[in-house]
Amino acid sequence: MSLQLVHSGKVRELYDAGDGRLLMVASDRISAFDVVLAEPIPDKGRVLTAMTVHWLADLADLAPSHLVTADPAELPAEAAELGGAAGMAGIAGRALLVRRAEMLPLECIVRGYLVGSGWKEYTESRSLHGTPLPAGLQQADRLPEPVFTPSTKATEGHDLNISFEEAVDLVGKEMAEKARDLCVEAYRRAAAAAERQGIIVADTKFELGIIDGELALCDEVLTPDSSRFWPADEWRPGTSPPSFDKQPVRDWLEGSGWDKQPPPPALPAEVVAQTSERYITAYERICGRRLADWYGANG
């Protein structure tokens, strides 16, 4: 019996593993300018999976999580079918067995820097998520304090910001406050660790769920796909800093003359290799661990 697909994202899949469990599989696919490129980035799926496990363990004193195991030996036997010709070795390190949670209908975003939609709001109303900010801030400036800016999963890729009061209407006051406090503290801890390694976590998105009546960290956590990572030495307030992970891909696509309509041009091998290196470096610097020590090495 094959595992049934329950959700398919742009770059990852979620399968029903039975027994109230799900198998979350991160692929090596990468998206840029809203399209998925044809060339996989070697080790990207392992990096995102290893980062999630690192942060779930590091934050375990703050909140329980959905994680059951990342050990390929403990995955359901059918997971091997997802690994292609290599079998279980083909998904080793990029699959997580997790507990199925009752997901909060919220995207729990925390922003530490003024970019993207946060910067746009500031330019229009000198506020962030409705809260007034000091005058004179520039794009990509650090915020005085990290701010919880929840949104709802509206349509694919296009989330709708909601006020804290609207979040309260969706999940109740106690849950909304708990979610906010948990996410802001998790962001503070991760951003401080990354900063010591020369990487800025500009913002991040958490997905929380209820497991056994408790608020738990679910989904991917503090990965390059759920966060904006910037090299600290290239951060210049007033400009939009490069993304730590995807910048080689963006730069090459921008220079290729591509009109941003699918299909995108094929990435040269050196751009693929550079990008893979960036993902591995992000993991090793932010998490202080070697990717060679993670499941699926040399697979």
Residues that bind ligand Q0Z (CB under 6 A): 7, 9, 12-14, 22, 24, 66, 98-101, 103, 209, 218-219
Alpha carbons 114 and 230: distance in angstroms, whole number? 13
Name the residue nearer to ligand Q0Z (CB basis): 48 or 140.
Answer: 48
Q: What is the nearest approach in angstroms of ligand Q0Z to the Cβ of residue 2? A: 17
Is 130 within 8 Å of 92 (Cβ atoms)? Answer: no
Q: Quickly list H helices, the chain.
A: 44-58, 116-125, 164-171, 173-196, 247-255, 269-287
Q: Tell me, what DSSP letter sits at residue 213?
A: T
Q: What is the nearest approach in angstroms of ligand Q0Z to the Cβ of residue 156? A: 10
Q: What is the nearest approach in angstroms of ligand Q0Z to the Cβ of residue 154? A: 15
Q: What b-and-e string marks burial along 140-169, b requiring 16 or more CB atoms within 10 Å of the CB?
A: bbebeebbbbbbeeeeeeebebbebeebbe
Alpha carbons 86 and 72: distance in angstroms, whole number? 13
Name the residue nearer to ligand Q0Z (CB basis): 118 or 209.
Answer: 209
Name the residue nearer to ligand Q0Z (CB basis): 46 or 285.
Answer: 46
Is the peptide bond prior to 263 cis by the omega test (within 30 degrees of 0)?
yes
Name the residue nearer to ligand Q0Z (CB basis): 80 or 103.
Answer: 103
Name the residue nearer to ligand Q0Z (CB basis): 27 or 247.
Answer: 27
Q: What is the nearest approach in angstroms of ligand Q0Z to the Cβ of residue 33? A: 20
Q: What is the nearest approach in angstroms of ligand Q0Z to the Cβ of residue 185? A: 21
Sign of CA dihedral 117, 122, 125, 130: positive
Q: What is the nearest approach in angstroms of ligand Q0Z to the Cβ of residue 53? A: 13
Name the residue nearer to ligand Q0Z (CB basis): 209 or 264.
Answer: 209
